[in-house]
Amino acid sequence: MGGLADVVFRYAEEDPSRVALGRKDDTGRWRDVTAAEFRDEVLALAKGLLAGGVRFGDRVAIMSRTRYEWTLFDFALWTVGAQVVPVYPTSSAEQCYWMLHDAEVTAAIVEHEDHAMTIATVIDRLPRMRRLWQLDAGAVQELYDEGAHLDDEVVHRHRQAVTPDSVATVIYTSGTTGRPKGCVLSHGNFMYEADTVIARYEPVFRSRRGDEASTLLFLPLAHVFGRMVQVAAIRGKVRFGHQPQLHAAALLPDLAAFRPTFFLAVPYIFEKVFNAARRKAEREGRSGPFEKAVDVAVRYADAMEEKAWGIGPGPSAALRMRHQLFDKLVYTRIRAAMGGRIRHAMSGGSAMDRRLGLFFAGAGVHVYEGYGLTESTAAAVANPPERTRYGTVGRPVPGVTVRIADDGEIWLRGDNVFQGYLNNAKATGETLHDGWLATGDLGSLDGDGYLTITGRKKEILVTSGGKSVSPAVLEERVRDHPLVGQCIVVGNDRPYVAALVTLDQEAVEHWLAMRGKAPIPPAELVLDADLEAEVRRAVVTANTLVSQAESIRTFRILAQPFSEEHGLLTPSLKLKRRAIEKTYGEEIEALYRA
């Protein structure tokens, strides 16, 4: 069967003139890259890597944002049988050192000078590191030139030695607690995962029949979700481009220019699109109609879901008419903000609120939520297109088995499950049990085999009164409020549950402007009585989901958000609970003073 790079050469042979990727030129315009052109670039770069000293089985790091060159290097390194070690571009020097040292990396590709300087500060402790290439300093052309004298056959001999069992990558878990562990994933893991997703979801890759399937990749390629999308796009002959920035100001213009037919994202992106649409409606004095449109979309999608499950007749005639009206007035604008051709999307990384999923479905963008880990090469469970159950992460993808252990932990089994943790037999033994992956997540399966995530084993709080509390349910509901950026629930070994809340700065600025208030400095903003009342409403709403003993009794609004730069978020935007509780120890103590 070979390895992941084989598809690049097969694709170019079968369909050389087909557009495989989109690439931005120096003027910011998208330029087509055909399958043959991409094959030639991969081959030339592979020659350069061999000439530069990269050998079969070597581990080579890539430290960069999501960009075309990452995909090029990935496939070139896989072509010569090297193993790729992704490094998040925001990693500190010590984080870089740990990953490069643990993986015994022999070479690295970095995006720019700041990354090069980060690695330079620890290079004296990395005796195996031989080469460092910098993308923004002409690394690609340098390697093209260095390998120009080699015959193609030299590269192909390396490529043909790669098997499905060969290691493709070592991805270090971002780690909400403790030191990151290197997940060893094979070529076969990625091929199985990507081909399964393509076979199951290919019909939704296009807006309508006859369209060319295309997607804009803006997920971090250092994360397994982004890597899986990249591999699946090449294997499924889906045109794709790269966008390195997740914030709306950069992402939305590229969605409009690239016009993808579907995309894969995290719930944060859908929340941002929805909140931006809501703020725009408020600024234009259309707040009332917008909220009515939201309600109609949710009720319409809910009725369609019931019809799909045979438990309802579908939308009434009156609801269909209102839905058609709001499609012209509201929903088309939301689709236009995502490029205009989006009809389907996949979401993973964290849980999506059921109401948000229903809204997008009612607005004409069906979001299929899924679940997976680095250890399962991304998605292990996902909602099927024909029978989506919003609020769940769906059913196991073909070939994957899910079971719930006695303590509620989700266990997975399938050909997408990783080989183990690099240099860590103890952690591997604790995670893999006769082929079963113990995920550390808690969940439940309904009668139709749909999985719902209920929390994480290590994050369950136990109050001093002995009450067990899953913080995720409360945190997600508090975050539903448009002014709330983040929420962390605390209370382990405490008499009651409390919370720290950060604000969405863009939403707060809009909220102040709509009330005729001047901008307020963050330190003063947290003392604003009207703002505190809004956050309190969010907390009261969240508390309706749990018993009184599990409810949030008090909270504190923080002036600054939790950030990756300050070590409080993982690169995939998950809260680092221990780090937050340590950083805000005084604030937490104050919540429990009489």
Longest Cα–Cα distance in the chain? 77
Pairing of strands 484-490, 497-503: antiparallel
Compute CA distances 472 → 250, 308, 478, whole Å. 30, 29, 10
Nearest to 571 by CA among 198, 149, 99: 99
Nearest to 508 by CA among 496, 522, 495, 487: 522
State how far the Cα of 99 lies from the Cα of 290, in Å rounded to an integer: 48
Nearest to 412 by CA among 393, 437, 388, 430: 437
Residue 317 structure tokens? 């005639």
Instruction: Please report the pLDDT score of residue 454 as a whole number.
Output: 86
| CA-angle at 48, arms to 47 and 50, nearest 5° | 65
Instruction: Please report the pLDDT score of residue 19 as a whole number.
Output: 96
Nearest to 542 by CA among 551, 530, 533: 551
Domain ranges of the chain: 1-163, 190-414+438-457, 460-591
Per-residue pLDDT of the chain (594 residues; tens, 9 = 90+): 799 999 999 999 999 999 999 999 888 899 999 999 999 999 999 999 999 999 999 999 999 999 999 999 999 999 999 999 999 998 889 989 999 999 999 999 999 999 999 999 999 999 999 999 999 999 999 999 999 999 999 999 999 999 999 999 999 986 545 678 999 999 999 999 999 999 999 888 877 777 789 999 999 999 999 999 999 999 999 999 999 987 777 888 899 899 999 989 888 889 888 988 999 999 999 999 999 999 999 999 999 999 999 999 999 999 999 999 999 999 999 999 899 999 999 998 878 889 999 999 999 999 999 999 999 999 999 999 989 999 999 999 999 999 999 999 999 999 999 999 999 999 999 999 999 999 999 999 999 999 999 888 888 888 887 787 889 889 989 999 999 999 999 998 889 999 999 999 989 999 999 988 888 888 888 888 999 999 999 999 999 988 888 899 999 999 999 988 888 887 777 888 888 999 999 999 999 985
Give the sign of the dihedral formed by CA 236, CA 241, CA 245, CA 251. Answer: negative
Pairing of strands 366-373, 378-382: antiparallel
Three-state secondary structure call for residue 321: helix
Percent of residues in the chain assigned helix, strand, coil, to nearest 5? 45, 20, 35
302 contacts: CB under 8 Å, gap ≥ 6: 358
State how far the Cα of 229 lies from the Cα of 260, in Å rounded to an integer: 14
State how far the Cα of 338 lies from the Cα of 569, in Å rounded to an integer: 27
Asked if residues 169 and 350 have their Cβ atoms less than 8 Å apart, the reply is no
Asked if residues 455 and 475 have their Cβ atoms less than 8 Å apart, the reply is no
Phi, psi of 81 (to 5 degrees): 80, 15
CATH superfamily for domain 1-163 = ANL, N-terminal domain (3.40.50.12780)
247 contacts: CB under 8 Å, gap ≥ 6: none
CATH superfamily for domain 460-591 = ANL, C-terminal domain (3.30.300.30)
Task: Estimate to the nearest angstrom the gap between the alpha carbon of 113 and the chain centroid.
Answer: 26
Torsion of CA 345, 351, 355, 359, to 10 degrees: -10
Q: Which residues of 94-110 are buried (b: 16+ CB within 10 A; e: fewer)?
A: ebbbbbbebbbbbbbbb
Task: Estimate to the nearest angstrom the gap between the alpha carbon of 435 and the chain centroid.
Answer: 26
Compute CA distances 383 → 85, 145, 214, 334, 498, whole Å. 30, 47, 21, 23, 34
- Spell out the alpha helix ranges (H) of 284-414: 287-308, 317-326, 332-337, 354-362
So what's the architecture of 190-414+438-457 in CATH? Answer: 3-Layer(aba) Sandwich (3.40)
Do 190-414+438-457 and 1-163 fall under one CATH topology? Answer: yes
Residue 207 structure tokens? 């807006």
Instruction: Please report the pLDDT score of residue 516 as a whole number.
Output: 87
pTM of the predicted structure, to 2 decimals:
0.88
Residue 304 structure tokens? 């369609």
